[in-house]
Amino acid sequence: MGRMMILLGAGLGFLALSGALQADQVDYLTVAVSAEKSGASSTLVEKGQPATAYGADKAVDGNQGTAWCEGKPGPGIGEWVDIAIKPRWAEGLLVAHGVSASRKLYEANNRIREYEIQARTSGGKTLVVKGEFKDQACGALDERKCDTGDAVKDKKCSEEQAKACQPWPDTYGSLPGEYIPLPAEQIGFTASEKNPAPCVTGVKIIIRSVYKGTKYDDTCITEFAPTVNLEGSVNRFRAEQINKIEKEKKIKYKDAKVLVDREEEVLCRAQ
């Protein structure tokens, strides 16, 4: 059962396993996720590693050092990972595609380029989002092959181009991630006071094309999680409810939050 609590800034950036990050002055908060069931079309099995080393559950375990990797020969076009979760309000999805344990591994393995995301909701409808992730390999933004110090040494790119690469975190504090909004209007969802956003019950991510790795032909996802806007209606409603319960029951914040989490699940299941 994978669990995680993550804060992230909007757009392309670094997904923080603890702490917050701002981008374009908008913050997003990932909700605590429990994987009730996980599956994948295929899973990479490496010699000397447990068969579960790259299993689907690794995409929601909150660990930068693990990842789900598809196991189909070639880049894995059409392969997918699917996670069922307890119903939670969600306004978007945060995806850290690729192997994020280190820049070397990130660039050595394939990263998802074009994707299809299917977010199932408690109302029985599915939100479908198709698009293209940005690549965070060094030099990817200007389409130059400037991924390591060796590239400068071999005169494949300039020192200025190499310095433009986003620094890779040295600790398990953050990893590359990208925010994908979920269009509630697609399923005709109308927000109300007690149901401010669609309730997501599961997420399926399908690989449609890839950024090729420099060494391996495996495509991976390190983490993904549903998100809500920190300044949005979901977070506002939760904050108001927690504050109300704290005062009425004279209990601590963490205990009030547990009660609000339970209420959210009840409201979601009735959506």
pLDDT band with cut points at 50, 70 and 90 for residue 269: confident
Please tell me the distance from the alpha carbon of residue 119 to that of residue 169, in angstroms, as a whole number: 30
Q: Is 188 exposed, middle or buried (0-12, 13-18, 19+ CB in 10 A)?
A: exposed
Average pLDDT, stretch 18-38? 57
- Looking at residue 192, the DSSP 8-state letter turns out to be B
Is the pLDDT higher at 124 or at 11? 124
Count of beta carbons in the 10 Å neighbourhood of residue 6:
26
Q: In whole angstroms, what is the distance from residue 146 CA to residue 152 CA?
A: 7
Who wins on pLDDT, 158 or 102? 102
CA distance 269 to 202: 13
For residue 235, pLDDT beyond 70: yes
DSSP 238: H
Left, alpha or beta for 142 (phi > 0: left; psi -120 to 50: alpha)? alpha
Q: How far apart are CA 74 and CA 51, in angstroms?
A: 19
Please write the tens of the pLDDT for every residue from 47-57.
999 999 999 99
Cα–Cα distance, 168 to 164 (Å, whole number): 12
Nearest to 95 by CA among 67, 73, 122: 67
pLDDT at 157: 61
Q: Tell me the angle at which helices 253-269 and 233-249 cross, rounded to the nearest 10 degrees.
A: 130
Name the CA radius of gyration of the chain, rounded: 19
Higher-confidence position of 139 and 235: 235
d(CA 236, CA 230): 8
Q: How far apart are the first and last CA of the chain?
A: 25
**What is the per-residue pLDDT across 212-230, written as a single tens digit (0 to 9) for each?**
999 999 999 999 888 888 7
Predicted confidence (pLDDT) at residue 268 exceeds the cutoff of 70: yes
pLDDT band at 44 (very low <50, low <70, confident <90, very high): very high
Q: The tokens of 4 are what?
A: 């995680």
| Identity of the amino acid at 251 | I
CA distance 210 to 79: 11
Q: Could you tell me if residue 229 is left (phi over 0), alpha (psi between -120 and 50 degrees) or otherwise beta?
A: beta
Report residue 222: phi and psi, to 5°: -80, -50
What is the rounded average pLDDT of the residues 163-186? 68
| pTM for this prediction | 0.80
* Residue 215, Cβ density class (10 Å: 0-12 exposed, 13-18 middle, ≥19 buried): exposed
Ordered structural domains, the chain, with CATH: 7-138+170-230 (2.60.120.260)
- 125 contacts: CB under 8 Å, gap ≥ 6: 187, 188
Q: Looking at residue 18, what is its pLDDT? A: 33
d(CA 259, CA 119): 26
Q: What is the pLDDT of residues 83-102, one digit of tens each?
A: 999 888 999 998 989 998 88
Share of the chain above pLDDT 90, in %: 50
pLDDT averaged over every residue in the chain? 80
Give all strands of the β-sheet with 35-40 in edge-to-edge order: 35-40, 80-89, 199-207, 114-121, 126-132
